[in-house]
Chain A
């Protein structure tokens, strides 16, 4: 087989302590092939990606193994040879183009300098022609006015295309893409992914696509490798791997991935991957694996061919953990009463006279979950903050039961404030870092007039209710994982027994397994407590397993609303149709 890049026995350590960040990684990529390297945050996937360019970040050491591209041994090259290889033989597309493009240089300069470093083209005219050519390859305008722009004068999608143009400029053999579509809207993402696929196939470039997003990989990659705690636990052709995963971890990942077209609910998995320096002798997934045996814990299983073309590090391949087979139980709202729990009537909101929400009507009943879906800039967060009393510039009516709410939380009564609660997007910023968990959760009760002992008792109960223990009350936020923090934030929101819960992108900062378990928890709490829930998100597939109703917001206008199944299967608005078509999904793999 023709091979563009080979990674063998790669080991990467924490400089100084020698703890393994990445160990025993073996991969090959053929020219024109896209390999998807999938893993959660901290799995070491970006570190592997950078090692392909012979680069290690500060505090990280490339400790062993080899990366071979053509006849270049990337880890052995001297400074000058390495410099000549980077940018020409192997290139890199960064995760966040807004910080990776130099803010002080025009994009033309940043493109043309790559060619200059590698004497590509031979003359200034030839190089300028190549810039124009590669700009059209990535579907950007190549006019002098556009090329004279600075990075901040481009949109996120355009910035990422400039990043792609830089990577393809010298016609490399290998390209490493590090989550290049994170932070882009689905439609922009779909277009960028198409460009990547076409360029790689057309120019026979081997691509290593690093990501946490299974759905993106399912739609882009030819071959997939799954990383867990610094090791590749499974690899194989994309289609086979997704249809019949052999490692239990991969099964959990797929079961946790949101999907619009399947009926099953997302299933999460608690716990976290062991960090470098704390990894066990045996399989690092054993602790979370319901199939684990003593043999698993004794020794890390070696990589072996478990089926033709399928490599995995598991002694019980293709066995199915019970939890990953969970099936849907959709709830219907508790008998509707005359008044809605939350009612939004003709609400328009603006930021310093710039209107971002236009005449929106929606309502949420008791025990019902309404998903407010929209891309960034759609006004969904402004609307939800207006409901929570955190954004003040709005007109129209927001009714809590039969009471009309004031614009700002400060002007509402204490009872009103406690009856409607808000859970924020980022659990790393929604808890006061210097206050103990118990005190944070108790604040709504204290404000409501509860005594300290009563508050402490209720806090303990609530922490248990969100699947933590009462002992968490004495900890500080920085002792908790992201998922645990989000559970605390949910506990704080629910401790005063509100009627309405507004969840603003509550899972977007979390890894997929944690996301699934938070969604499970929210579903359960809603059913048990009869909450009216407004679930704000940009993630359409996520909605399928939690919401009864969907309201789609585009440019501040409500373009479509209705029962979840109807909207997802038979969308009426053009915008919703396009959104659904552009959203990558694992289940689409079978249709490819």
Chain B
């Protein structure tokens, strides 16, 4: 009765389009971004093992210009007579780790809240999104400063504050993306056979908002790096004696009037490269996501 037209019969094997990450990796911007991020992560995490001096070791007079061109002493000294190169090698880790942890925290909470709001609609949605609005009304850096003013600058607090103040931004994006997914029939199909709410959130909705979520997560990581470095730049760090790129810029501005600029220039370049690197990766991801969605729209 029915002639079977399988690909074997037609001889054309339809190819499945590759995943988001692989599409993104075809673009040079993503590759360059990843290379930059990898380099700076390596410096931030392992640079300390190659430092010529100790983190808090005074090696001479403050803001002294180096006469040599050897890497381990060419950048001269910083405030309190620290070695600029050593402080640089030590100063990335606190920012990087805090930013990653804060983003992860925000990602988990924001995704959960966004998905629940999108799936349940109605009152729960209203209450959750109003609560998000309240958090949004406090600029992130202000929220961080209030908490620091009350409890002092501890790493845990900075991570918590930056993370929580990022939650509503992720929740909004997730909800926005998920609302249109909830409307699609496969969710109704899952409901009609009695799938649990958890299954619907995790296995029906989440995989279908992965692309915008990944892009947003990357954007938030970029922001959190800037924010945490910025807080340090304002002079608030858990340990004022420890090396930190943001704090270095602040401390060593005094040297700019003289000839010693490396104490500022090195960390500025590092933070700039790191954020541009994550930005490039994010842009690659979002271009890949747009391309994937467009291909789907044409089908």
**CB of B139 closer than 8 Å to a CB of A:** no
Interface-centre pick from B3, B12, B184, B189 (highest chain A CB count, 10 A): B189
A39 to B: closest C-beta gap in Å: 18
Residues of A within 8 A of B192 (CB): 388-390, 409, 417, 421-422
Q: How far is the CA of A390 from the CA of B5 in the complex (A)?
A: 34
- Cβ–Cβ contact B193 & A428, under 8 A: no
Which listed residue (A447, A478, A524) contacts B16, Cβ 8 A? A478
**CB of B195 closer than 8 Å to a CB of A:** yes
- Cβ–Cβ contact B188 & A435, under 8 A: no
**CB of B299 closer than 8 Å to a CB of A:** yes
- Cβ–Cβ contact A410 & B194, under 8 A: yes
Interface-centre pick from B5, B192, B299 (highest chain A CB count, 10 A): B192
Q: Which of B156-210 contact A (CB under 8 A)?
A: 184-186, 188-195, 203-204, 207-208, 210
- Cβ–Cβ contact A447 & B194, under 8 A: yes
Contact with B along A237-273 (1 / 0, CB 8 A): 0000000000000000000000000000000111110
Q: How far is the CA of A106 from the CA of B189 in the complex (A)?
A: 41
Which listed residue (B3, B188, B207) contacts A270, Cβ 8 A? B3
Residues of A within 8 A of B14 (CB): 475, 479-480
Residues of A within 8 A of B184 (CB): 429-430
Which listed residue (B1, B10, B193, B296) contacts A478, Cβ 8 A? B296
Interface-centre pick from B6, B12, B185, B210 (highest chain A CB count, 10 A): B185
Q: How far is the CA of A409 from the CA of B193 in the complex (A)?
A: 7
- Cβ–Cβ contact A475 & B16, under 8 A: yes
- Cβ–Cβ contact B2 & A517, under 8 A: yes
B142 to A: closest C-beta gap in Å: 38
Residues of A within 8 A of B208 (CB): 432-434
Q: How far is the CA of A443 from the CA of B10 in the complex (A)?
A: 30
Contact with A along B10-23 (1 / 0, CB 8 A): 10101111000000
Q: How far is the CA of A424 from the CA of B185 in the complex (A)?
A: 7
- Cβ–Cβ contact A469 & B8, under 8 A: yes
Given contacts A431-B186, A479-B16, A492-B189, contact A469 B299 (CB under 8 A): no
A447 to B: closest C-beta gap in Å: 6
Residues of A within 8 A of B12 (CB): 278
Given contacts A278-B12, A390-B192, A467-B4, contact A432 B207 (CB under 8 A): yes
Q: How far is the CA of A426 from the CA of B14 in the complex (A)?
A: 21
- Cβ–Cβ contact A390 & B195, under 8 A: no
Residues of A within 8 A of B204 (CB): 432
Q: How far is the CA of A301 from the CA of B80 in the complex (A)?
A: 89
- Cβ–Cβ contact B194 & A425, under 8 A: no
Residues of B within 8 A of A389 (CB): 191-192
Q: How far is the CA of A479 from the CA of B185 in the complex (A)?
A: 19
- Cβ–Cβ contact A287 & B10, under 8 A: yes
- Cβ–Cβ contact A468 & B6, under 8 A: yes
Given contacts A270-B4, A432-B207, A520-B1, contact A414 B194 (CB under 8 A): yes
B183 to A: closest C-beta gap in Å: 8
- Cβ–Cβ contact A443 & B195, under 8 A: yes
Given contacts A412-B194, A467-B2, contact A476 B189 (CB under 8 A): no
Residues of A within 8 A of B195 (CB): 443, 447
- Cβ–Cβ contact A469 & B194, under 8 A: no
- Cβ–Cβ contact A428 & B299, under 8 A: yes
Given contacts A429-B186, A447-B193, A479-B14, contact A469 B296 (CB under 8 A): no
Given contacts A426-B185, A430-B185, contact A478 B17 (CB under 8 A): yes
Q: How far is the CA of A152 from the CA of B281 in the complex (A)?
A: 41
Contact with B along A515-536 (1 / 0, CB 8 A): 0010011001000000000000
Residue of A with least CB distance to B184: A429
Given contacts A432-B204, A520-B2, contact A443 B186 (CB under 8 A): no
B150 to A: closest C-beta gap in Å: 44
- Cβ–Cβ contact A271 & B16, under 8 A: no
Residue of A with least CB distance to B2: A467
Q: How far is the CA of A468 from the CA of B185 in the complex (A)?
A: 22
Residues of B within 8 A of A151 (CB): none
A493 to B: closest C-beta gap in Å: 9
Which listed residue (A271, A412, A426, A480) contacts B10, Cβ 8 A? A271
Given contacts A422-B189, A429-B184, contact A521 B2 (CB under 8 A): yes
- Cβ–Cβ contact B5 & A270, under 8 A: yes
Which listed residue (A430, A444, A468) contacts B186, Cβ 8 A? A430
Which listed residue (A409, A422, A433, A434) contacts B194, Cβ 8 A? A409
- Cβ–Cβ contact B2 & A270, under 8 A: yes
Residues of A within 8 A of B296 (CB): 433, 478
Residues of B within 8 A of A429 (CB): 184-186
**CB of A114 closer than 8 Å to a CB of B:** no
- Cβ–Cβ contact B1 & A476, under 8 A: no
- Cβ–Cβ contact B191 & A430, under 8 A: no
Residues of B within 8 A of A421 (CB): 192-193
Q: How far is the CA of A388 from the CA of B203 in the complex (A)?
A: 22
Q: How far is the CA of A263 from the CA of B56 in the complex (A)?
A: 94
**CB of A131 closer than 8 Å to a CB of B:** no
Interface-centre pick from B5, B8, B193, B204 (highest chain A CB count, 10 A): B193
Q: How far is the CA of A417 from the CA of B189 in the complex (A)?
A: 11
B101 to A: closest C-beta gap in Å: 28
Residues of A within 8 A of B193 (CB): 409, 417-418, 421, 443-444, 447, 496
B82 to A: closest C-beta gap in Å: 52
B197 to A: closest C-beta gap in Å: 9
Contact with A along B288-299 (1 / 0, CB 8 A): 000000001001
Q: How far is the CA of A288 from the CA of B3 in the complex (A)?
A: 10
- Cβ–Cβ contact A478 & B185, under 8 A: no
- Cβ–Cβ contact B185 & A271, under 8 A: no
A24 to B: closest C-beta gap in Å: 24
Residue of A with least CB distance to B186: A432
Residue of B with least CB distance to A290: B3
- Cβ–Cβ contact A409 & B191, under 8 A: yes
Q: How far is the CA of A479 from the CA of B12 in the complex (A)?
A: 11
Interface-centre pick from A414, A443, A468, A489 (highest chain B CB count, 10 A): A443
B218 to A: closest C-beta gap in Å: 20
Residues of A within 8 A of B191 (CB): 389-390, 409-410
Q: How far is the CA of A261 from the CA of B4 in the complex (A)?
A: 29
- Cβ–Cβ contact B207 & A435, under 8 A: yes
11 A-B residue pairs with Cβ-Cβ distance under 8 Å, sorted by A, are: A269-B3, A389-B191, A410-B194, A414-B194, A417-B193, A429-B184, A429-B186, A432-B186, A433-B208, A435-B207, A471-B6
A residues adjacent to B (C-beta < 8 A): 268-272, 278, 287-288, 385, 388-390, 409-410, 412, 414, 417-418, 421-422, 424-426, 428-435, 440, 443-444, 447, 467-469, 471, 475-476, 478-480, 489, 492, 496, 517, 520-521, 524
- 4 more A-B residue pairs beyond the given contacts A409-B192, A409-B193, with a C-beta to C-beta distance below 8 A: A428-B299, A447-B193, A475-B16, A520-B1
